[in-house]
Amino acid sequence: MSEQAAEPFGRAVVITCSTRAAGGVYPDRGGPLVVEALRQWGFEVADPTVVPDGPEVAEALAAALSSGADVVVTTGGTGLSPTDGTPEATRAVLDREVPGMAEAIRAAGIAKGVPTAMLSRGVAGLAGRALVVNLPGSSGGVRDALEVLEPVVRHAVSQVRGGDH
């Protein structure tokens, strides 16, 4: 008798926003970390989509949202460089921001002795019925952010679905 896989809690999409990773200069390290975490948290999620900074970020967000994802997590493009535009592309699709999530991610990095965490401009919010969260691009920043998100993502999705507080 074979074991049947548990029904996934929801669908998630991971987008890595990095011109260098998209161009093959170096491998995407952050996206796979996010995918692994989301799978452990019970979400159905494919491998990350890797796009260069710029208009492709907005296109990838639109595609993720039109796919019916419950959660969309981006990594990268949240800093101060001239090409970092992930927060702007994200804000363009959000109906409501959830600022506490982004603030908590920055605070966790700072608390771990990473003062540059305060330079992240990442945002979080709702686009329709999907939770969208920007994570930093560094693998350390991704790990710190995942620690922050793990206890609240399923609860947030449940609330969006009409669940009790």
List Cβ<8 Å contacts ≥24 apart for 45-51: 45/11, 45/12, 45/13, 45/14, 46/13, 47/14, 48/14, 48/15, 48/16, 48/75, 49/13, 49/14, 49/15, 49/16, 50/15, 50/16, 50/18, 50/21, 50/22, 51/15, 51/16, 51/17, 51/22
Please tell me whether residue 43 adopts helix, strand or coil conformation: strand
Angle, CA 36 vertex, CA 143 and CA 26 arms, to 5°: 70
Q: So what's the pLDDT on residue 102?
A: 98
The residue count of the chain comes to 165
Rounded Cα distance between 13 and 18, Å, is 16
Q: What is the pLDDT of residues 36-66, one digit of tens each?
A: 999 999 999 999 999 999 999 999 999 999 9
Rounded Cα distance between 119 and 44, Å, is 31
Rounded Cα distance between 107 and 114, Å, is 10
Q: What is the pLDDT of residues 7-39, one digit of tens each?
A: 889 999 999 999 999 999 999 999 999 999 999
Q: Is the pTM value of this prediction over 0.85?
A: yes
pLDDT band at 5 (very low <50, low <70, confident <90, very high): low
